[in-house]
Structure 1
Amino acid sequence: MPNPIRTFFDHSRHKLSVYNFDATLDVLAFHGEEQLSQPFHYVIEFTCSEQDIAADQLLNRDARFSLHAPPRQHSFLTRDLPIKPLRTLHGVVTGFKRLSGSVNEARYEITLQPRLALLARGQQFRLYQHQSVPEIVEHILRSRHDFRGEDFFFKLTRKYPKRLQVMQYGESDLAFIARLLAEVGIWYRFTGDERLHLDVVEFHDDQLHYQSGIQLPCHSPAGLSSSEQDGVWALQTQHQVVERQVNIRTYQHRDAYAHLDGEIDHTRGATTTYGEAYHYAEPYTALGDRYQFYEDLPPETGYFYARLQHERYLNDQTRLSGTSSSATLAPGQVLEITGDAPQAFARGTVITHLSTRAARDASFEARFQAIPYSESVCFRPPLLAKPQIAGTLPARVSNPQKNDPYAEIDVEGRYCVQFLFDRDTWKPGQESMWLRLARPYAGDTHGLHLPLIAGTEVAVAFEQGDPDRPYIAHALHDSEHRDHVTLRARNYKRNVLRTPANNKLRMEDTRGKEHVKLSTEHSGKSQLNLGHLVDAEQQRRGEGFELRTDGWGAIRAGKGLLISADEQPKAQGETLGMNEALAQLEEALQRVQRLARNAVVAGGLEADETVPKQLKAALGQLKEAGLLVSAPAGVALVTPAHMQLAAGQTLSAVSNNTDFSALKRFTVTAGQAIGLFAQKLGLKLIANQGAVSIQAQNDRLELLARQGLDISSTEDEIRITAKKKITLNVGSNYITLDPYRIEIGSPGEVEIKSPHFDYVPSAGRLKTALSPLAEPLADVPNKLLLNFYDAAAKPITDVPYTLTFDNGLVLQGTLDEHGHAQHSPVPDKPARVQYQLPEPEPDQPWPSYDLLLQQCPIGEHDEQLRLVGPDGESASHLKYSATLADGRIIEGMTDVRGYTQRFVTLQPIQFTSLTLLPPEGGEVFCCAAKNAQAPLVIDLTSSNIATNATDVGTSSRTVPLPKGKKRSLTADEISMARTVFKNAVDYSKVKVHRGGWWLFFGQQNTAVTPNGEMYYPESTKYYRDDFANTNDDRDKALFMHEITHVWQYQLGYPVKKYGLTVSAQGAAAYEYTLKSNGELSDYNMEQQAEIVSDYFIICVLGNPRGVWNQRNYTQSPQLLVSTLQDFLENPASKANLPA
C-alpha cells in the first residue's frame, strides 16, 4: 500500500489553549527555546475571531501548547478518534501582544513559559540557615510560590549537607535557585503531567537520570518525496582544547592548619587538554577523597567541587549540533543517531539546548545543541555570577536574653547578628550564623576583644565580597547608641575607651591640660589619674597622679618598692634612681657610728651600727625585697586611731632632733637593756605630777656626776633607805649606818655646830629655801571647734565671731574659707558664740538664723551623732531626743548635714535610745500623702555609742536609719522606660524599694519618688517584682509616672523642694488640660508624670482604660503626641523640665 501523502505547511494542527478562555485560538506560527537548567520560552502567534482580547484574559493564565504530527489519511473507522499529541508544553502566559486585525479575525502573539520562570520577577534579600541546597530550593518553591508536591521533585544520587548560612542578596528567586543548583552541579528540566495538566520541574545531579531510548535516523528531508519517519540532518561537531586539571585550595579559620589542597584530572592525561585551572576559596571545609567517584564522593568537599569544575570544562571540549523534524525531542534526552553520522555522535548525544519553529507556511524544525554522552562526565550547569558585596551591610548584635548587659558569644568568641535587611522572624540569638569579629590585634589566646552587647550596630563585611562569608568589620554608633566623644558633649579633645559598665580609659589631649584616667565603678570609683586632674565638670582639682578607691587597696612589689618625692624632671633618670635616699642613709650611718663610739667611751650601751649598713646594702637599687621611702621636705604618717612600727630585728631611728609626745602615757620596754646617752646638753627626766620611780629591781642603782649631785625635796622629806648599810663618803671622812650602829670616821676633826644641841628621839626637819615650781597642768587641754553652714549645707566664710565664756574670757576671730574655726586650750566653762553677719542686700529680707547664738559646752567626755538615711543621705532638720544611761534626755534638731549637737559629760555615759520626728509642717512629696508626726525610736543599747575622751570636740558617730528591701530595675522595666526616655535616664542608679521612704516613718500611703528612687509601702499593695510583666496595665501606668520623677530628678529638677508646693494642691496638682500648641514644660512635675504615663498607656500600649487616673482615658492621642513631640525627640534636654 503506498504511503499516505504528508501535508506540509499546514500547522493549524498544533493546539493552544488558555485556562478559562473559551474562544478558539488558531496557531499561525511559533518559535521555542529550551535548554537544560533554564525555563523554556515559546513565542506563539495565533488568530482569533475576537477582535480585542483583554490582557487579563490571557496574561498570567495557565496554558498548554500541544505539538501534533502531520495529518494523515485515516480509515473510516479511525477518522473521528482524537489524535494524541506528540508533546505538550504546560506553562503560564508571561507575554501578550495584539499584532493586527481584519474584518473576520485578529492576530495575536503570546509568550509561554513554565511557572518557574515567574520566579525571575522581583528580588529578595534573605537568609537561609541550617538547610541543604535542595532544602533551600524546596523551601522557596513551597513557601513563597505555592508549589506543591506534584509541581516538582528531586531525584538525586547524593545527599547534600546542610549549610550554616546562605544569603540571597538582591537576586530574584530564579537567579538564586539557579546559582545554588549550579554550584553543586544539580541540573533541572521540564516535563508535563498530562493527568493534572501542569508542568513539572525535575531536579537531577547525575547522567543516570537522562532520558534515554530516543533514536532517529540521519537523513535530510527531500521535499514531497521525504519519508514519513522523522530524522536528523545538518550534523556538526566543534572541538577545542580545555583545561587538563583543576587545582583547589581554601582556608578555614575554624581549622587553620588543615590540609585543604588538592587536584583533579578527569581525563587521566588526555592529549587534547592543557593547562591548570587553580580555584581558590571554594566553599568547602573538608578535602574529601580524590579516588572516590560518583555517588561515593561526599558532596561539597574539596574534590567534589574540583570534579564539578573539571566537568564544566570538559562539557565545552566537544559541542554537537544538528537539525531534526521530530517534535518529541527535549533537553535532557540522550539521542542515538542511526545511519551515517560523525563519530562524535556514536556514543549518544545529550541534548542541552533546543530551538524549535514552525508556521503555516513552514514545516516544524528543531535545531539542537548537545554534548557527547559520557559515563564519567555529566552535564553541569555553568556557574552563574554570585553577587559581590563591595562594602558592608548594617546589622545589630543579637542576644537570646532580652536586655542582657553582657555580650552573647560562642566558645570561639563569635557573635550572632540580625541583618537589618532581614524581614524573616527568627528566635532571638539565632538570626544568623556565628560571625567572627575583626580586630586590630589578635593572636594565640591574646589580642584585643571588646565585647559587643545586644543592639550594637555593626558593619558586616564579606571575604572577597562573598555574601556567604560574612564577618563583623567594626561597630558603629547610631541615634540610639550615641558616640561618647562628640562636639555636643564638648569632649572632642579626649580619647576615650569606655565599657558598658563605665570602666574607662580616658586620655585628654588639650594642650596644657593633658591627663590620663583609668577607672572602674567598683569599690566607689577606683581610679588611676595622671597629669592634669579634673572632676566630673572638668574643673581642675590637682595635678600629678592619684591612685584612689573607696574599697581596699594594696601596693605590692615582690622585688622591692621605692616611694620617692625626689624630683626627676621630664622623666630623666633611672627608674630606681635613689641617690638622694642613699645619701640620707649614708649620713644616718655616719651619725650612728659617731654617737655609738662616744656612747661606748662614756660607758653607755653601744648602738647597733650594722643596721644602717645592712639597710643601705639591701635597699641600694633594691637588691633585696625592701621598701624605701624618700622625700626631701619630710614624711608624715598620721592616723586618728592606732599606729604600730614593728621589726623582727632592729628598729633604728636617726635624726638631728627626735621628739616623742604622748598626751597620756609614754612607755619604753626592753627585754634586755635600755641605754640613754646625751653627749652635750644633759638628760632631764621631769614629772609635772605624779611620782618618779627609778628602780633596779634585781641589781644595783648607780648615780654618778662629775660635778655636784643634788637631792632635794621642796615640800616633804627625803628618805634614803637600805636593808644592810648606808655609807656617806667624802675623801677619808665617812659616815656608816647599818641596822645596829652608826659609825663616823675622819682623819681630822669632827665638828658639830649648833646654838643648841639636844638629844631627842627623832631628827629635826631640814628646812631649805627652794625656787617655786609650776602649777599642775590639765591632762587634756579643752578644745572648741566652730562650723557654720547655711540651709543648703554651704559653708559661710570670712564671718567675724565673738566667744564669751562664763568666767569672763572673751575670744574673737574670723571663720576660714571652709566656715571653720578652732581654739585650744580654752577654759572648762560654758560659752556662747555670736556671728557678725554682713548687711543684707536692698529689698532682701534677713534669713532666719535661730542658732546664731549657741552655747558651747566643754567637758572631759563628749560625742556627736550624725544621722544618715539608708543610702547615706543626710537626715537633716529632724527633731530628736537622745536618752543617756544616766536618765538624761537631751532634745534638739539635726543640722543640714544630719549632725546633732555635741553631748558633753564629765564621765563616759552610754546612749540608750534616739527618738526622731519628721520636720515640722509635714512635708508632702511626689504622690505621697501628708505624713503623720509619728516618732521613730532607734534602740542604741547594743551599738556601744557613748561619750568618750577620744578627740574631744571633733569626734562623731554615724547612726544609720532603718533600711527597707530594694532591688534594681528589671530588664523589661528598662526596656519599657526606654520607649519614652531612651537613654536620658541612668537606669543603673534607679532602685525600687519594697517599703516607704524613711522620712515618712511608715506613715506613707502611696508611691513616692523623692530622690531618684521609688518607694512602694507594703500597706499600699502597689509594689510589683516586675512592673513590665503584669496583667494589669495600671501597674505599668504607675511605674511610668514614677520613672518620670526619676527623669526629673536626674536632670537636676529639685523634686523634693517643689514636691511640697505642688503636691500641697491635692488632686488638682495632677489634673491637666492639653492644648494644641502646648509643650511638656508647660506643666508642673505631677502633671508631667501623668501626661507621660497616659501617653504610654494610650498611644504605645493602645489601652485607654489602663490609665492610672480613670478620668484621663478620653485624652486625645494626637494631643498627647504633639505635646510630647520635643520631649520624645530629645528627652535628655533640660528644656523639657517644668518651667
Structure 2
Amino acid sequence: MVSVAGTEAISGLFRFEFELASPDHDLDYQSVLGKKGHLTIKGLDADRHVHGLVSRIEEVGRNEDLSRYRLTLVPSLWVLGLRQTSRIFQDMSVPEIVKKVLKDAGIPSSEVELSVHGDHPKWEYCVQYRESDLAFVSRLMEQEGIFYFFKHTASGAVLRIGDDPSDHPVAPDVTKLPFRVAGGMAASEETVTRYSLSEEVRPDAFALKDYNFKTPAVDLSGSAKDKPGLTTEVFDFPGEYDSASEGTALAKIRLQELRAMRRQGTGETNCARLTPGHTFEIGGHPRKDYNGKYLIVGAQHHGSQPQALGREGAGSASSYSSSFTCIPADVPYRPPRITPRPMAQGAQTAVVVGPSGEEIHTDEHGRIKVQFHWDREGKKDENSSCWIRVAQPWAGPKWGSMFIPRIGWEVVVEFMDGDPDQPLVTGSVYHADNPPPYSLPGEKTKSTIKSNSSKGGDGSNELRFEDAKGSEEIFIHAQKDLHIDVENDEGDTIGGNRTVTVAKDESVTIDGNRTEKVAKNETITVDGARAETVAKDETIQVDGARTMTVAKDESLKVGENRTLNISKEDKVSVGDSRSVAIGKDLSHQVGANAQYQVTKSQVLDVGQSFSLSAGKEIVFKVGGAELIMKSDGAIQLKGSKINLKADGAISIKGSKVESN
C-alpha cells in the first residue's frame, strides 16, 4: 500500500481511497470490483480495521517495475445506493421499515445491530418513490432522529443503528487520549496533537403544527424549548404526525438536531481508531474545560507508505494522521435532514381496488384504495394502498355531494405538497376498457350523470342533458323508485304537451286545496273501476254541455238533501224499468204544463189519503168514457154505459134532480 485517505461520519457512508503498488501490470479489475476488502492501519497501541466493498479501481501510474492502482473501499450499505425502486410500506415503524429494506438488499442480520429506545410510531402509509434504498432509509431515519455508524473489528464490520446517547460505545482500545503538542520527533504514544472548541448561536426553540382530518378541531401543535424567555424559534408545517403528543416529541428531536453541533470540537490525532459514533476522552489539555468525554461525529484519515514503491520511495518514512470533529458526549446527536424527500410532481392516475367480489370498497369517510401503476408489489386488492380521501365538489357536515369511485375505475391522484405519503383522489378518467356512457364524438352534445346498479350492473340511474340545437332535452331515468320531496311550493310550466304513463297504481295525497284548470278539452278513460270520495262539499261547473254515459249500473247515494236545478228542459229516458223509493214526502212543482205518458198500465197505490187538485178542471178519460170536474163545481160523467153498484145504499141529492 502506498497511501490511504478516508472520510467517515455518523449517518454517512465511509469512503477510503488507497493506492496499491503491484508488479501485475494487467490486473483483472473484475477480480477486485465488488469484492470484500479489509484495510488495516497499524497503530501504536492497537490496529484500526476497515471492512467494506471495493466500489472502484483505476490505474494511476506505472514504471518498469510496478503499476499503481487506486481502489475505493465503501461499506456494504453503499450498495443500497445502486438499488432504486418505488414501493409502499403500511402499518410499519421506521425501524421495521429499515430492517426490511436491509434484508431485501441482502445485508445479513448478523451485520446489523438495531438498538432504538425512543417511541417510533407505526406509519399508516410510507412510500419509497423513485429513490434509492439508501436515500429512502436515510431520510426516514433523519426524520425520526435515528443515527447509524459502523463498528469495525478484525473479523468484520457491523452497522449499528440507534437513537440514544447510550448507543455510542467507547472507541476501540481507547480510554483516554492525552493532549500533546506535536513535536519534530516520531510519536511514541497515541495522542491528540491539536484540539479546539467552537460555539455558535443556534435556534433554541422549535414549533410544529399539523392537521388530522379525523380530529379537525384538535390543535396538533407541538413545541420544544431549550431555555425559557424570548427565543429564536423555528416553525414548520406540516409536521408529519397525527397527534399532539407525537408533535411534541418530534419538535424535541428537531430542536436537538439544530443544536447538536452548537458546541463542537476539532482536532488532530495519530490514533486511527477515533471513528464516528464512538466516544473518547481527552485529558491533559492546558485549558481545563476542553478536557472531557466527546462523541466523534466525523473523521478524515491520511496515511502514506512511500517505501511500497520500491526504489522510487526508498528512504521515505511512513506517516499517518487523522482530523476529527466531535461534540460533548452528553449532547443527544440527531442527524441533519439532508436527504431530500422525493416529490410527486403533478397528477398521476391509479386503478381503484378492493376485495375480490366487491364492486364498491369504501370506509366511513368515503375513502378508497388504489393500485398505482408504478407499484410492482401490490396485489390489486384492498391491501394495495392506504385509505385515500376523495375530493368532492361539496363536502359539508352531513350535506354535500358523494360520488364514490368504484373498483376498476382509473382515478386521478394528486399529492399534498408533492408528498407521496399524502395522496388525494381528485377525479376519474375513462380508458379503453371503461369507455364513456355514450359513443363519441357522435353524441358529443350529451352531458350525463349515469350510475350503474350494484352488484351485477344491468341497470342505471341517470340525469342526462341533450344540447343539440332543436333537440334539447333533460332526461331522468330511475332504475327502480323515484322520490321527489318538496318542502314548500313546486311550480311546473310545460310549453307543449305532457304525457304521464303509470304502469301500476298512482296515489296522490293533497293536504290542502287543489285547483285544476283545463283550457280546452279533458278526456279521462278508466279501464277498470273508479272510486271518488269527497269529504266535504263538491261543486262541478260545466259551462257547456255535459254527457255522461254509464255502460252498466249507476248508483247515487246522498246522505242528506239533494237539489237539482235545470235552467231549461230535463229529459230522462229509461230503457227498462224505473223504481223510485222515497222514505218520506214527495213534492213536484211544475211552472207550466206537466205530461205523463204510460204505454201500458200505471198503478197508483196510496196507503192513506189521496188528494188531487186542479185550478180549472180535471178530466179522466178512458176510451169513450169521460169524467170531467170543473172549477165551478160542475161534474160531467159520460159513457156509452154507466153502471153504479154499491154493496149498500146509493144516495143522489141535488137542488134539482133530472132523469131522462
- Residues 1:266 and 2:222 aligned together: no
Structure-2 residue corresponding to 1:666: 554
Instruction: Write the distance in 2 (CA, Å) between the matches of 1:438 and 1:729.
Output: 94
SS at match of 2:90: strand
Query: Letter of the aligned partner of 1:500 in structure 2?
Result: N
- Superposition pairs for residues 312-711 of structure 1, below 5 Å? 312-342=257-287, 345-361=290-306, 362-375=318-331, 377-402=332-357, 404-405=358-359, 407-426=360-379, 428-484=381-437, 487-488=440-441, 490-501=442-453, 502-522=460-480, 550=503, 553-555=506-508, 625-656=512-543, 657-679=545-567, 681-687=568-574, 689-696=575-582, 698-702=583-587, 705=590, 707-711=592-596
8 Å contact from structure 1 (residues 532, 543) kept in 2: no
8 Å contact from structure 1 (residues 523, 549) kept in 2: no
Structure-1 residue corresponding to 2:655: none
- Residues 1:131 and 2:95 aligned together: no
* Alignment RMSD: 3.3
SS at match of 1:306: helix
Q: TM-score, normalised by structure 1?
A: 0.50
How far off its partner does 1:557 sit?
A: 5.7
SS at match of 2:214: helix
Structure-2 residue corresponding to 1:200: 158
How far off its partner does 1:483 sit?
A: 2.8
SS at match of 1:56: helix
CA offsets, 1:381-432, max 9 Å, x none? 4442111222123211111123x23x21112221111111111144720111
CA offsets, 1:186-227, max 9 Å, x none? 111111353xx332100111112223354222223323x344
Instruction: Write the distance in 2 (CA, Å) between the matches of 1:649 and 1:188.
Output: 92
How far off its partner does 1:32 sit?
A: 0.7
Structure-1 residue corresponding to 2:243: 286
SS at match of 2:390: coil
8 Å contact from structure 1 (residues 323, 366) kept in 2: yes
How far off its partner does 1:310 sit?
A: 1.1
Instruction: Write the distance in 2 (CA, Å) between the matches of 1:655 and 1:179.
Output: 89
8 Å contact from structure 2 (residues 15, 72) kept in 1: yes
Identity of matched residues, %: 21
How far off its partner does 1:451 sit?
A: 1.2
Instruction: Write the distance in 2 (CA, Å) between the matches of 1:753 and 1:545.
Output: 73
Structure-1 residue corresponding to 2:215: 255
How far off its partner does 1:491 sit?
A: 2.3
1:735/1:500 Cα in 2 relative to 1: closer, same or farther (>3 Å)? closer
SS at match of 1:278: strand
1:475/1:237 Cα in 2 relative to 1: closer, same or farther (>3 Å)? same
Instruction: Write the distance in 2 (CA, Å) between the matches of 1:245 and 1:266.
Output: 6
Q: TM-score, normalised by structure 2?
A: 0.84
Higher helix share: 1
CA offsets, 1:862-898, max 9 Å, x none? xxxxxxxxxxxxxxxxxxxxxxxxxxxxxxxxxxxxx
Query: Letter of the aligned partner of 1:389 in structure 2?
Result: A
1:193/1:320 Cα in 2 relative to 1: closer, same or farther (>3 Å)? closer
Instruction: Write the distance in 2 (CA, Å) between the matches of 1:181 and 1:730.
Output: 125
How far off its partner does 1:727 sit?
A: 6.2
How far off its partner does 1:670 sit?
A: 2.6
How far off its partner does 1:456 sit?
A: 1.1
Instruction: Write the distance in 2 (CA, Å) between the matches of 1:707 and 1:552.
Output: 51
How far off its partner does 1:266 sit?
A: 2.1
How far off its partner does 1:275 sit?
A: 1.8
- Residues 1:209 and 2:167 aligned together: yes
Query: Letter of the aligned partner of 2:81 in structure 1?
Result: A
CA offsets, 1:687-720, max 9 Å, x none? 3x32344454x54555554555444445x45555
How far off its partner does 1:546 sit?
A: 5.9
Instruction: Write the distance in 1 (CA, Å) between the matches of 2:125 and 2:147.
Output: 22
Query: Letter of the aligned partner of 1:189 in structure 2?
Result: F
8 Å contact from structure 2 (residues 84, 130) kept in 1: yes
Instruction: Write the distance in 1 (CA, Å) between the matches of 2:628 and 2:500.
Output: 78
1:103/1:437 Cα in 2 relative to 1: closer, same or farther (>3 Å)? same
Instruction: Write the distance in 1 (CA, Å) between the matches of 2:330 and 2:405.
Output: 55
Instruction: Write the distance in 1 (CA, Å) between the matches of 2:633 and 2:272.
Output: 172
8 Å contact from structure 1 (residues 47, 106) kept in 2: yes
Query: Letter of the aligned partner of 1:363 in structure 2?
Result: S
How far off its partner does 1:660 sit?
A: 2.1
1:417/1:731 Cα in 2 relative to 1: closer, same or farther (>3 Å)? closer
Q: Which runs of 5+ in 2 are unaligned?
A: 307-317, 454-459, 485-490, 621-626, 647-660
Give the alignment partner of residue 6 of structure 2, picking from 25, 32, 48. 32
- Residues 1:166 and 2:123 aligned together: no
Instruction: Write the distance in 1 (CA, Å) between the matches of 2:295 and 2:588.
Output: 133
Instruction: Write the distance in 2 (CA, Å) between the matches of 1:137 and 1:444.
Output: 41
8 Å contact from structure 1 (residues 524, 549) kept in 2: no
1:43/1:729 Cα in 2 relative to 1: closer, same or farther (>3 Å)? closer
8 Å contact from structure 2 (residues 150, 277) kept in 1: no
Q: Which runs of 5+ in 1 are unaligned?
A: 1-26, 71-83, 289-300, 534-541, 559-624, 737-742, 763-1139
8 Å contact from structure 1 (residues 525, 550) kept in 2: no
CA offsets, 1:966-985, max 9 Å, x none? xxxxxxxxxxxxxxxxxxxx
Instruction: Write the distance in 2 (CA, Å) between the matches of 1:545 and 1:721.
Output: 58
Question: How many pairs align?
Answer: 612
Instruction: Write the distance in 1 (CA, Å) between the matches of 2:47 and 2:615.
Output: 163
- Residues 1:180 and 2:140 aligned together: yes
CA offsets, 1:634-685, max 9 Å, x none? 3332211112222122232222333322223333333344433333x33323
- Residues 1:55 and 2:29 aligned together: yes
SS at match of 2:126: strand
1:189/1:551 Cα in 2 relative to 1: closer, same or farther (>3 Å)? farther
Instruction: Write the distance in 2 (CA, Å) between the matches of 1:44 and 1:557.
Output: 98
Instruction: Write the distance in 2 (CA, Å) between the matches of 1:265 and 1:722.
Output: 119
Instruction: Write the distance in 1 (CA, Å) between the matches of 2:502 and 2:590.
Output: 58
Give the alignment partner of residue 146 of structure 1, picking from 106, 118, 127. 106
- Superposition pairs for residues 918-929 of structure 1, below 5 Å? none
1:728/1:473 Cα in 2 relative to 1: closer, same or farther (>3 Å)? closer
How far off its partner does 1:511 sit?
A: 3.4
